[in-house]
Structure 1
Amino acid sequence: MKILVSILTICSFLLFSGNEKEHVNYKEEMNKTFGKNSEIPELLAGEVAVINIWATWCGPCIREIPEMNKIVKEYEGKSVRFLAFSDEPMSTFKAFQKKRPDFEFAYEVSFGNQKAINLLKSLEKQRGGSAIPIHILIDKEGQVVDVFIGASSANIQKIKRFLNEHASAE
């Protein structure tokens, strides 16, 4: 009987803990993490966020950016923010751009904000992995709708479906 009660208690705790995580407002958590002096302005109520973690050394990250830039332009004027985070310093990006002067980001970009990177990567680790690029989709209420890894046409389609469902005209 004690074993059964213990198992039920553990299961209840796990079930309750899982639900708590689902109700975390990640917009609020990110705004706290960005801080007031961040190059990324606060995420506002009613905004949807498409977040990307990438690096200059990541081939798949670099290959997907032109396609993502097209999506950014397609959804301009809608209630959506596109944010890109790299744990590399800005100087690394500037050196990369000298080698690739055609490389552009249509996103809002943040470099070296390790607190933000750690918060965002913790979402991905909860789902059992760690690699980049990481995509995080956050709805208007601040809830994480999806987190996925990799640069692929399937992931581009996931992002477009999310935006078609969640982004709206201002």
Structure 2
Amino acid sequence: MKSALSIIFVLVVIVLSGYLYKKYRIAPKLNLKSLSVTDLSGSEVKISDIDSELVVLNFWATWCGPCRQELPILNEIVNEFKDKDVTFIMVSDEDLVRQNRFLSGKDLAMTFYKLNGKLPELGVHTIPTVYFLDKNKDVIKTKVNGIDWHSEELIEWMNSKVSK
């Protein structure tokens, strides 16, 4: 009897571990083409309307330590790609007042938006979560829980997705 209970316990732990790993460490498959967001002045924008060969969409929050830490580094990368057809957007489900207050006085080159809804409703349970979208706004790469933005491999990959 004890061995049967032990086996059941181990199986439950394995299943639960797999579920939690998938929920918090793997970016959910999303169709972001129809996603609507609101810019910091209150105008609605559809992701599909962003005209760019590569869109880097970063789900973030003002209270998220790793998100805040990566902002200056990400800003360097944005400036590195400023002459290429790459658009960097930051999407939070926090209200516009909170985002504007947080961003006040910061010289950041990326564009910030409010999600029209909540991140968990999309299936995004971990931030930062980054989606790389091609010119058709199809997801071509994802990363959960931060990126080494200075990685040579990432920079080369991003360069390979845009015209010279």
Name the TM-score class by shorter chain: 0.5 to 0.7
Unaligned runs of 5+ in 1: 1-21, 125-129
Q: CA deviation at 1:43?
A: 1.7
Equivalent of residue 28 in structure 1, options 8, 29, 33? 33
In 2: Cα distance, 1:112 partner to 1:143 partner: 19
In 2: Cα distance, 1:166 partner to 1:72 partner: 15
Contact preservation (8 Å) 2:59, 2:127:
yes
Q: Which has the higher helix share?
A: 1
Contact preservation (8 Å) 1:83, 1:108:
yes
Are 1:113 and 2:116 counterparts?
Answer: yes
Q: Which has the higher strand share?
A: 2
User: SS of the residue aligned with 1:94?
Assistant: helix
* Structure 1 stretches of 4+ moved >6 Å: none
User: SS of the residue aligned with 1:65?
Assistant: helix
Determine the structure 2 residue equivalent to 1:90: 96
Are 1:147 and 2:122 counterparts?
Answer: no
Cα gap change, 1:148 to 1:156, in 2 (>3 Å): farther
Q: TM-score, normalised by structure 1?
A: 0.62
User: SS of the residue aligned with 1:29?
Assistant: coil
Contact preservation (8 Å) 2:131, 2:139:
yes
- How many pairs were matched up? 130
Contact preservation (8 Å) 1:27, 1:43:
no
**Percent of aligned pairs sharing the same letter:** 26
User: SS of the residue aligned with 1:146?
Assistant: strand
Contact preservation (8 Å) 1:87, 1:114:
yes
Determine the structure 1 residue equivalent to 2:50: 43
In 1: Cα distance, 2:154 partner to 2:116 partner: 24
AA aligned opposite 1:83: I
Alignment of structure 1 residues 125-144 onto 2, 5 Å:
130-144=125-139
Contact preservation (8 Å) 1:40, 1:108:
no
1:58-84 Cα deviation digits (max 9, x unpaired): 010001011111111111121111111
Q: CA RMSD in A?
A: 2.9
